[in-house]
Chain A
Amino acid sequence: MPDLGKGWTPGDLDEDWEASAEAKLETVEFDTELGIEISRDAMALARGEMTETAFHEKHHEAVFEEFGIDQRPTYETTVKAKTDDDGDALPGVPDVGGDAVPSRRGLLKTMGGLAAAGAATSMAGCLDQAVDTPASTADSDGGDVQLGMVIDTDKCIACLKCAEACKQENDTDRGSQWMHVFRYEETEYDDVSEGQMPRPCQHCSEPSCTYVCPTQSRFKREEDGIVLTDYDRCIGCKYCEVACPYGVNFLGKDEPTDKSPGFFGSDTDKNDRRVGGPPPAGVMGKCTFCVHRQDDSAQKGTTACEDDCPVDAIHFGDMNDADSQPRQYLRENRDQSRFKLLEEQGNEPNVVYLGNEPSKDATPTDGPFTYEDLGMETLADDGGDDQ
């Protein structure tokens, strides 16, 4: 073996080296020539004869073709995937390459492998991309549609219009606030500042509620990433509610309020599953991103809370599309701080907040209104009728 220490020269890369490299590489199933080529260039890179960018770019296509994935820091995988068009970092995308810790998705993938093949196919919808190709971990632009929201908490005035609109649109039960607005105070020395944060379901990419569900009635819709409940299948065990870190679930009580004349959207989605509107009694319900609107060509791309927000703080759309309304809003407000709620829980929420994240010492305050004041808790006279 040539000495590849300090004093080596390109001449050292002789036939001996090539033969030994070939022998090693032939024991693995991947392209031997490519391996040798990359090794050669790596040495050139180390000698300073080649730039890092040129090195990564040179073999990108070949590597991608061979392995189906190239996680080396090329333009394609880092700059383009982790920033929007203008190079702004998306919140929630850490600035480190690669997948350092095994994700929940990875764990489930392993477990899925252990299960019967027939069963694995039925996971679709619940685990969404869990059994997808490795390339999907790159999560680059132009992938599947993932509906989400950008909520500007600096703009929000805690008027509760969003909560009211949601109640009116979805005819939810008394006490069920699919959209809730937190109002809180932060005390720093003598300085007290007020904050507000609307909280819909986060429609997570790793929704723990779907994983624990014993009937797959809680599932993530493949077409647009909305997390929904199949009202005909749910057994009301409340495990999803217990496993959700956000507190967005409310068991159906069949106690509609007089705030809403009723639910007029379609309760079945385009796949014929009953997922829209208020849940029947004893069945779990939560924000559906107004699924009845998403399946209706006239209202597609809107939600009740977004429509009624007087200060335009809520922006709803495809988080995977760089040209979508929420992504544009993020771009326009690139100087504002941003956060995702409870990101360390690993659920990969799809609601991005602009403004400051409430601290662990934030204390709730009573706002100018309560849901009672707004008449959102008064029972409808005729009572419930859905079962």
Chain B
Amino acid sequence: MSTDVFEDRILYPLEHTSKRYYALLAIFSLGTVLFLLAWAYQLNAGVWAVTGIGDWGISAGVPWGLYIGGFVWWVGLAHGGIAISAAVRVIDIDRFAPIARVSEILTVLALSMAAFNIVLSMGRPDRIFNTILWWPATVHHSPLAWDIAVITLYLVLSLTYLCLSLRAEIAAFRHRLPTVFSPLYSMLTIGYSKSEDEKIEQILWWLAVAILALVPLLSGGVVPWLFSLIAAQPAWYGAAAGAAMLTESLTSALAGVIIITAIFRYAYDWEDVIEDRIFRDLAVVLAFLSLATIWFTMHDILTGLYTAPANIGALTGAMLELPFFWLAVVGLVVSVVALFLMIGWPDRFFSIPALVAISVILSVTILNKKVMFIVEGLMFPTAPPLTNLYPSGSYSPTLLEWWLFIGTIVLLGFGFLIATKVIPMVELDPEEVN
């Protein structure tokens, strides 16, 4: 393919807008408005009144539910994007370069949605800035304060990374970008000169290293620590939660990247830009990550059943009776089998729609696992004799909760729709400007 055509095709969505785009934008705008309405309703009525969550103890409620599960899921999803992009830069895997930009945007949007889910779960979201205000005093004792610190750091690094990587590109292609966003482009390229390119590349390399280092600290560290350090909840307490959660997170993250890039490839006919082999490579990694997720699940079950402490045994037994648990197991096994068939006999079994379908199954399965982890832990909280004296909790998310959670997925779509009209979704080489 000639370079001219390549640049033209990447910039096409920025220069032209189809009817299909307007239709999608209308649908997602409507979704966003409905989300905001539902949120306003929840704010007005109170979390307890309109959601399935409640106090544990005599009320037999579960204080954290879909929102907190959704938060953990979104944080996990956020890793895939920037991690792939950072890996491209740090270890020069150039063949993934065409999906780097989409992945970076996925990270920034997913992290924002993670934060949004926390806000949804809060009883007094109007006071969220108290956490920042008191952060210096709480950071050495509250795992939630650690979480705020690392997520904020991750978001700042990702955004900085994205903005810096855009500077040369925007400066070079400014004349072909929509004039509506001129102020934004001016801000992004403020003080730009050609001589900074080399320095920026070095900064980006170090930023990428920092981001890669933060991945295990976030999804394998502060997020699981929110739960695994809490002695009051026997189902959460433990050291392996970090490793297990990181594996699950990376699985859903990769699935997320596959889904989003496949959508872009389909929407803009970028079959030759984002080639099949990228998806085949991703499928291999996804297969082994899902296998590792099954492996960790097996560990949980075995240690929870075989001469486990009485209440841990009871907890594990109770989990095995949850239909959601078996749904997760089936989802994982089916995905692993399908993925290995795709790897082993690509000619017969590999296709991008099938890979996307598996990725969707995996994302939903991981969401199921995360929500189950949180809810199940809180259904049987504390230790005997209080475990047996309090009624065990029950939880089912209300329609409003589902809508608000799904609403955060709609918001992500809305964010992507806007982003496609503002910046090129595949990295362009500033040298190739025409």
Binding site for B on A (CB under 8 A): 108, 111-112, 114-116, 118-120, 122-123, 126-127, 175-177, 180, 182, 184, 208, 211-217, 233-239, 241-254, 281-284, 341-342, 344-346, 357-364
Indicate if the CB atoms of B124 and A236 lie closer than 8 Å.
yes
Interface size in chain B (residues, C-beta < 8 A):
53
Interchain CB contact under 8 A, A180 and B127? no
Q: Is the CB of A184 within 8 A of B389?
A: yes
Report B44-58 residues with CB < 8 Å from chain A CB: 46-49, 55-58
A-B contact count (CB 8 A): 181
| A215 contacts B140, C-beta separation under 8 Å | no
A249 contact set on B, CB distance < 8 A: 55, 57
Residue contact B140 to A247, C-beta cutoff 8 Å: no
B123, chain A: closest CB distance, angstroms:
2
Closest Cβ–Cβ distance, residue B299 to chain A (whole Å): 24
Expressed in whole angstroms, the minimum distance between the Cβ of A134 and any Cβ of chain B is 19
Interface centre among A122, A242, A341, A364 (most CB of B within 10 A): A242
For the complex formed, measure the closest distance between the CB of A290 and the CB atoms of chain B, giving whole angstroms.
20
Shortest distance from the beta carbon of A11 to any chain B beta carbon, whole Å = 56
Out of B56, B148, B231, name the residue touching A345 (CB < 8 Å): B231
- Give the residue of A180, A214, A234 whose beta carbon is less than 8 angstroms from that of B138: A214
- The smallest C-beta distance from B57 to any residue of chain A, in angstroms, reads 3
Q: Tell me the minimal C-beta distance from A101 to chain B in angstroms.
A: 13
Asked if residues A175 and B55 are in contact (CB atoms below 8 Å), the reply is yes
Query: Is B124 touching A342 in the complex (CB atoms < 8 A)?
Result: no
| B233 interface neighbour in A175, A237, A242, Cβ under 8 Å | A242
B382 partner residues in chain A, CB cutoff 8 A: 245-247, 342
Bound-state Cα–Cα, A217 to B140, Å:
15
Q: Once the chains bind, are A243 and B230 in contact (CB under 8 Å)?
A: yes
- B143 adjacent to chain A (CB < 8 Å): yes
- Residues 283-298 of chain B: 1 if any A CB is under 8 Å from the residue's CB, otherwise 0? 0000000000000000
Question: In the complex, what distance in Å separates the CA atom of A246 from the CA atom of B381?
Answer: 9
For residue B383, CB closer than 8 A to chain A, the reply is: yes
Are B383 and A250 closer than 8 Å at their CB atoms? no
Taking the nearest CB of chain B, how far is it from the CB of A122, in angstroms?
A: 4
B55: which A residues are within 8 A, CB to CB?
Answer: 175-176, 241, 247, 249-251
List the one stretch of B7-15, B97-105, B129-137 in contact with chain A: B129-137
Task: Give 18 new A-B contacts, CB below 8 A, not counting A111-B140, A119-B140, A247-B55.
Answer: A114-B140, A115-B139, A115-B140, A123-B141, A175-B58, A212-B144, A214-B145, A215-B127, A215-B133, A216-B137, A242-B232, A245-B232, A247-B58, A249-B55, A251-B47, A282-B122, A283-B124, A358-B385
Asked if B128 is at the interface (CB within 8 A of a chain A CB), the reply is yes
Q: How many angstroms between the C-alpha atoms of A250 and B123 in the bound complex?
A: 12
Chain B residues closer than 8 Å to A250, beta-carbon distance: 55, 57, 59
